[in-house]
Each structure stands twice: as structure tokens, then as C-alpha cells.
Amino acid sequence: MDQSPPPEVGLHDPVASHLGYMLRRASAVVMAGLGAGLAGIGLRPVEGTILTLVGANPGCIQSDLGRMLGIKRANMVPLIAGLAGKGLLTKSPVDGRSLALFLTATGEAARAQVDAIMAAHEARFDRLLVGQDLTVLRNALRRITQEGETAPD
Amino acid sequence: MDQSPPPEVGLHDPVASHLGYMLRRASAVVMAGLGAGLAGIGLRPVEGTILTLVGANPGCIQSDLGRMLGIKRANMVPLIAGLAGKGLLTKSPVDGRSLALFLTATGEAARAQVDAIMAAHEARFDRLLVGQDLTVLRNALRRITQEGETAPD
DNA sequence: TATTGTTATACTCTATAACTATA
DNA sequence: TATAGTTATAGAGTATAACAATA
């Protein structure tokens, strides 16, 4: 990741302390870091997450994943098709309209790599934000998210 | 904003505690709330922010705004053109290649509304996250952002 | 009737490359 | 040579509408 210092413009920035923008930029930084890590195994963050979720919930269906991730049914289709096309997971019909998802052996190996990369990524923040701060941060984020959570579909 | 409870799927979610995803979802919630507030005056969050920044820095140029907001030069063009087209700001040449930005009277009125909406939005989080938590949250977000900040162009 | 998967489509955000004019 | 603004374009991400098959 680029470690260059932030550009200094010398202007007054009245929105720098706004929570919305602080969250948006921190989120972008963290997701960029995770994306850089996962790019090493040819996956995007959302794809790595799907592998992790299918690994933890073998036989789950597309719509359930979409609901968990806040991704709409229509947008799950190319994501799942892409992972299936790479041979990382398989779809097998369960009741005629739902498709159960399972990791292939290749997919399981990829999932293990994803977990290692994500764990290493989390460890960076364990070092950056000592104990109490990290707990307060997680609790605050949880409260914010729950305050406005919306059904994805 | 939709206040419906999060959908309950009953699956195991091993990424729910990952900082990256917590940040991404909290950010989406907050920005959606701000977007809903600003939609009442026909502006998106980024447009409201630009009005606020130009109001605080009369005569600033497009590139400076882009650097402050992490938006590339090329993507600033339609943003500024849109605000100018609405009669909210004007561009006036300063040295032949740079354009100084100023709010019009209409733009100043819009900026005042934006500030009120943003302040009300911030106040929601002051209530949700009492004193110490909010300070710790801001400091944590600042450290995360600074750790990975990148030049936008 | 509601749900699942799907297709098509569109809009926003972001990114790069290339060009002109200027400092 | 570096910077400011611009154009064109491409890739993500996300949104809705509509459809067929199934529960």
C-alpha cells in the first residue's frame, strides 16, 4: 500500500471532523489494504468474503448470502457465476428453485488463504489501535450499523 | 431512513467482526442517512461538501478541492460543472490555467442549509455515542485513515 | 402469493490515458 | 518539466424492472 503522506493543501477543512466522511475515508483505506492483500490470490474482497461464508455455511443458498452481505439477488448472480467459473465453488439444486453452494477442494484451499490474509490484515489494526480503543471502535461501529440497517431487497 | 431490523438469516457469519466490513457497513449507513437529508435540497453528499469547502475557502481552485476530498482531477470536472450549472458557484480564471471558485448568493444559501443538515446529522451520533466513545472513535478513524492515506492523483 | 434465480439495464463512483494551455 | 482543466473511456458497485420456475 502507498505510504505517502496526505497531500497538504493549506485550506480550511470544515468537514474533516464529520463522522460520515471520517468513516468513508477510513473504510476506503481499510478496504484498499484488504484488496491489495487479496489481489495476490486473484480475488476481490467481496469474493474472499463469499468463500469464507460458504466455507462456514456449506449448502447455503445465494439469497441468504446476499441478505447477509447486503447485496441484492440480481447482483449476486455474476459474483457466484464468477467464483463457480474459477472452480472455487459449485451450485447444486436443493428444491428446484434454490441452489446450495459448496466449496470445491480448490475453493477450500483458497478460503484458507483468504482467512490467513484477512487475519493478517486484522492484526495490523490490533497493533495500530491498542486494546480498549479497538473494543470501543467495534462497539461504536456496531451501534451505528444497527441504527440504520436496511433490508437489501 | 429505513428503520427496519436487519434481516435474520440464521447463518454463521465469520466476517461480522472484521474491522474492514464493520467500517464499510457503518460508512454506508451514515452516508445513506446524510444522503437522505441532503436529497431534500437536491444535493448529494459530495456536492454538499464542496459547497461547504468553497464557502470556507473562497477562491480555492478545483484541484485543491480534489486533493482534500480524495477525488481525482478528471472526476472533479462534472461535479463542479453540475454545481455551476445549478447556479450555486462560479468559476473565474486566476492565472490562465487555474479557476477560482466562489459561491453565488444562491450557493451561499444552499451552503447554510447544508451546514444545518450536516450538523443535525452529526448530532444524531452525539446522542448515539456518548462522549468518550465518540472521541475514541474519531481518533481511531483518524489513525486508520492516516495509516493508508494516498495522493489522489 | 411470495421466493429464487436470472436477464437486462442504468446510474454512480472511481480509475487511467491523453490532450491543451499555462507556470 | 510540472500543473490545471478537460475529454473520453472503462471498470467496479449498486439500483430497478421484469420474467420463469417453484414453494
Which of B6, B18, B122 lies nearest to residue A19, judging by beta carbons?
A: B122
Min mean pLDDT across A65-74, B55-64, B126-135 is at: B126-135
Task: Answer yes or no: do A21 and B145 touch at CB < 8 A.
Answer: no
Asked, for residue A72, whether it belongs to a domain, the answer is yes
Q: Is the confidence at residue B5, as pLDDT, over 70? A: no
pLDDT of residue A59: 96
Task: Answer yes or no: do A122 and B19 touch at CB < 8 A.
Answer: yes
Q: Is the confidence at residue B59, as pLDDT, over 90? A: yes
Asked, for residue A6, whether it belongs to a domain, the answer is no
Bridge partners (DSSP) listed for residue A101: A91
Contacts of residues B98-106 at CB distance under 8 Å and 24 or more positions apart, as own/partner, are: B98/B61, B98/B62, B98/B63, B99/B61, B99/B62, B100/B59, B100/B60, B100/B61, B101/B54, B101/B58, B101/B59, B101/B60, B101/B61, B101/B62, B101/B65, B102/B54, B102/B58, B102/B59, B103/B51, B103/B54, B103/B55, B103/B58
pLDDT of residue A7: 46
* End-to-end alpha carbon distance in chain B: 35
Q: What is the mean pLDDT of residues B50-56?
A: 97
Is nucleic acid strand D under 7 Å from B74's C-beta?
A: yes
* pLDDT tier at B152, thresholds 50, 70, 90: low
Q: Which residue of chain B is at minimal alpha-carbon distance from A126?
A: B19
pLDDT of residue A133: 82
* pLDDT tier at A130, thresholds 50, 70, 90: confident
* pLDDT tier at B17, thresholds 50, 70, 90: confident
Which of B23, B118, B147 lies nearest to residue A23, judging by beta carbons?
A: B23
In chain B, the percentage of residues whose pLDDT exceeds 70 is 91
Asked, for residue A68, whether it belongs to a domain, the answer is yes
How many Å from the CA of B13 to C1' of C9? 32
Kindly tell me the burial class for residue B137, based on how many C-beta atoms sit within 10 Å of its own C-beta (0-12, 13-18, 19 or more). Answer: buried
Q: Which residue of chain A is at minimal alpha-carbon distance from B22?
A: A141
Q: What is the mean pLDDT of residues B50-62?
A: 96
Q: Which of B113, B140, B89, B66 is nearest to A30 (CA)?
A: B140
pLDDT of residue A3: 34
Q: How far is CA B110 from CA A19, B88, B105, B114, B115, in A?
A: 21, 8, 9, 6, 9
Asked, for residue A13, whether it belongs to a domain, the answer is no
Q: Is the confidence at residue B2, as pLDDT, over 50? A: no
Q: Contact, B38 vs B44, CB < 8 A? A: yes
Asked, for residue B28, whether it belongs to a domain, the answer is no
Cα distance from B4 to chain A (closest Cα, Å)?
A: 6
Is nucleic acid strand D under 7 Å from A152's C-beta?
A: yes
Task: Answer yes or no: do A22 and B139 touch at CB < 8 A.
Answer: no
pLDDT of residue B7: 46
**In chain B, which among 107-126 make CB contacts under 8 A with chain A?**
118, 121-122, 125
Q: Residue A42 and residue A58: Cα distance in Å, rounded?
A: 22
DSSP letters along B25-70, please? HHHHHHHHHHHHHHHTTT--HHHHHHHHHHHHSTT-BHHHHHHHHT
Q: What is the mean pLDDT of residues A102-120?
A: 97
Cα distance from B123 to chain A (closest Cα, Å)?
A: 10
Q: Which residues of B touch A125 (CB under 8 A)?
A: 19, 144
Q: Residue A26 and residue B39: Cα distance in Å, rounded?
A: 24
More confident residue, A41 or A4: A41
Q: Is the confidence at residue A131, as pLDDT, over 70? A: yes
Cα distance from A87 to chain B (closest Cα, Å)?
A: 22
Task: Say what the pTM is.
Answer: 0.90
Q: What is the mean pLDDT of chain A?
A: 89
Q: Is the confidence at residue A123, as pLDDT, over 70? A: yes
Task: Give residue B93's domain range.
Answer: 46-140
Task: Answer yes or no: do B57 and A11 touch at CB < 8 A.
Answer: yes
Q: Contact, A101 vs A65, CB < 8 A? A: yes
Asked, for residue A2, whether it belongs to a domain, the answer is no
Q: Which three cell numbers stand for residue A53?
A: 461464508
Q: Which residues of A touch B30 (CB under 8 A)?
A: 19-20, 23-24, 144, 148
Asked, for residue A138, whether it belongs to a domain, the answer is no
Give the total number of structural domains in chain A: 1
More confident residue, A18 or A7: A18
- What is the CATH number for B123? 1.10.10.10
**In chain A, which among 25-84 make CB contacts under 8 A with chain B?**
25-34, 45, 49, 52-53, 56-57, 60, 64, 67-68, 70
pLDDT of residue B134: 85
pLDDT of residue A70: 92
- Cβ-based neighbours of A114, under 8 Å, separated by 6 or more: A38, A41, A43, A48, A51, A52
Indicate the SS3 state at residue B148.
helix
How many Å from the CA of A95 to C1' of C14? 40
Asked, for residue A149, whether it belongs to a domain, the answer is no
pLDDT of residue B114: 97
* pLDDT tier at B151, thresholds 50, 70, 90: low
More confident residue, B111 or B148: B111
pLDDT of residue A149: 67
